[in-house]
Amino acid sequence: MSAAFNTQRVIEVIGRTIAPVVGDTVAATTGLMHCRRLGINDGTISSADLDRLLASVERWLTVFVGNQAASKAVAKVRRALLSEDAP
């Protein structure tokens, strides 16, 4: 995984991936909400911060969809980000 990701892009991918489960309204705000909670305000996000962000989203999702489904959803986000990042 590369060192930095575009924060807006990460938020979009999170929203797109979890929208079928949580609906468009919540999906659109989830990434941003978790970024704010973690103090991620920059335009780019480091690999370490991405891990923290996805862990935070996963913890939040487990309450609604259970642990396994939350892990699967976050893995999907990670895969999507990696594939978009690939040359």
Partner 1 sequence: MTHSRRLDAVFAALMLAVAALFLPRLFVGDSSFFRRTLDERAVLVIGSLVKLACLFVAALWAGRIVPHFEPGNPARPAWRLMQLGFGCYFVAQLTLSSLNLTLAKPPFPSPADALFLLATGLLIASLALAVRVYVGEHPEGSPGLVLAPACTALVVLAAFDYWLLRPIVHAEAPTPEIVANVAYPVFDSVLLVLAVTLLRITLHFRGGHIWRVWLTLLAGFVFLCVGDIAFAFLSTMGMSHLDPIMDVMFVWSYALLARGILYQHELFAV
Task: Report the amino acid identity of residue 12.
Answer: E
Q: Are 53 and 34 in contact (CB under 8 A)?
A: yes
CA distance 26 to 14: 11
Judged by beta carbon, residue 21 or residue 80, the one nearer partner 1 is 21
Token pair for residue 70?
């939350």
Judged by beta carbon, residue 25 or residue 83, the one nearer partner 1 is 25
Q: How far is the CB of 5 from partner 1 (least distance, A)?
A: 22
Burial class (CB in 10 A: 0-12, 13-18, 19+), 6: middle
Judged by beta carbon, residue 34 or residue 49, the one nearer partner 1 is 34
Q: Which residues are near partner 1 by CB under 8 A?
A: 19-27, 29-30, 33, 60, 62-69, 72
